[in-house]
Structure 1
Amino acid sequence: MAAAADRTIPDVVGPNLLVLFSGINPGLYSAATGHHFARPGNRFWPALHGSGFTGRQLHPSEQDLLPALGLGITNVVSRATARADELSPDEFVTGGTRLAERVALIRPRYLAVLGVTAYRAAFGHPKAKIGPQPDQISGVPVWVLPNPSGLNAHFQLPALTAEFAALRTAATTPH
């Protein structure tokens, strides 16, 4: 796994995305496999399915099916690390700028940042909470979701799934 340190994973995107999910940064397991949220125990894929975004639970290797469902994946910081706390404050700020540029190009209906601490650091909103944000990024509404990593013990799968479901409801409600 150490060989995967500092690797990047390509974004999974397409036209007319309902939601662009942004992880904090790839973990070493994801970087080694080339698939987002790939580590066993990561709850992204179960929460995505349980919330109704997908008709069945997808395996990380099926990530390329997401754009046809109106979903995409990117990261705030592209560099892979063993833990998000290995990232510097400057990396978050630079990553936030790059994420805003990607959002301006992709134009999803919603940007979902997976991790309130990452959102706070990348976009300078120290009091942000889980849920819809009052600010937009590149003209796109932002929703902060809990980090689905198995290391995030604050949110168990049912609570995580409920947060994903609230976003799904908002994203699929006609404006």
Structure 2
Amino acid sequence: MTPEELQAARDRVVPDVLAGGLRVLFCGINPSLMSAATGHHFAHPGNRFWPVLHRSGFTPRRLRPAEQGELPVFGLGITNVVARATARADELSTKEYVEGGRALEAKVRRAGPRWLAVVGVTAYRAAFGERRARIGPQERTVGGARVWVLPNPSGLNAHWTVETMADEYARLRAAVEQETPR
């Protein structure tokens, strides 16, 4: 991708990967310019979402971003707190996070996943006013779904390695598998 192609993707929306009966709806902060340019979630080469999803046992093999349409077969989907693409998450306003949280709640209510997995504690805090939220399961529900906050898989999140992220994602997977289907 050229810098011009990436800049042309600013403010675009990447369509959700949704289906009825999902076990987990993963929710990113907002699409990167690379995701918006390709139309695929977590498309930046430095993003660790796809390897972590596989290592944690959610998928039987490592999917490529272009294979995101296969996720519903595994009971998984993807959306974002804020729909518009930016180069960095710090370009988003508090108002956008709050409005995105409201829209996400309505989307989850319509789609009905059992779990909402927000990938980024800062985004979860901003969208839902949960200032003390930590990584892991949350007390609240969103749109009727249980909530688990996961580490942001961005390559910029140096506090977490692929292995430590995969361990946390696997904790969610274990909780999902222990749960009785609705």
Which range, TM-score by smaller chain?
A: over 0.9
Report the equivalent of 2:35: 30
1:30 deviation in Å?
Answer: 0.4
Report the equivalent of 1:142: 147
1:83 deviation in Å?
Answer: 0.5
Residue 71 in 1 paired to residue 76 in 2? Answer: yes
List, as ranges, runs of 4+ consecutive aligned residues in structure 1 with deviation greater than 4 Å.
none
1:174 deviation in Å?
Answer: 3.0
Of the three residues 21, 26, 30, the one matched with 1:21 is: 26
CA distance in 1 between counterparts of 2:100 and 2:106 reads: 10
CA distance in 1 between counterparts of 2:28 and 2:179 reads: 26
One-letter amino acid of the counterpart of residue 73, structure 2:
A
Report the equivalent of 2:95: 90
Report the number of matched residues: 175
CA distance in 2 between counterparts of 1:27 and 1:146 reads: 17
1:41 deviation in Å?
Answer: 1.3
Residue 132 in 1 paired to residue 134 in 2? Answer: no
1:46-61 matched pairs, under 5 angstroms: 46-61=51-66
Residue 43 in 1 paired to residue 25 in 2? Answer: no
One-letter amino acid of the counterpart of residue 27, structure 2:
S
Identical residues among aligned pairs (%): 62
CA distance in 2 between counterparts of 1:41 and 1:89 reads: 26
CA distance in 2 between counterparts of 1:92 and 1:148 reads: 19
Report the equivalent of 2:108: 103
Report the equivalent of 2:120: 115
Of the three residues 13, 16, 29, the one matched with 1:8 is: 13
CA distances 1:97-149 after superposition (whole Å, capped 9, x unpaired) = 00000000011110000000000000000000000001111221000001000
TM-score by length of 1: 0.99
SS at match of 1:39: coil
One-letter amino acid of the counterpart of residue 114, structure 1:
V
Report the equivalent of 2:158: 153
Structure 1 residue ranges without an equivalent (≥5)? none
CA distances 1:36-87 after superposition (whole Å, capped 9, x unpaired) = 0000010000000000000000000000000111000000000000000100
TM-score by length of 2: 0.95
CA distance in 1 between counterparts of 2:143 and 2:72 reads: 20
Q: Over aligned residue pairs, what C-alpha RMSD do you find?
A: 0.6
CA distance in 1 between counterparts of 2:46 and 2:143 reads: 33
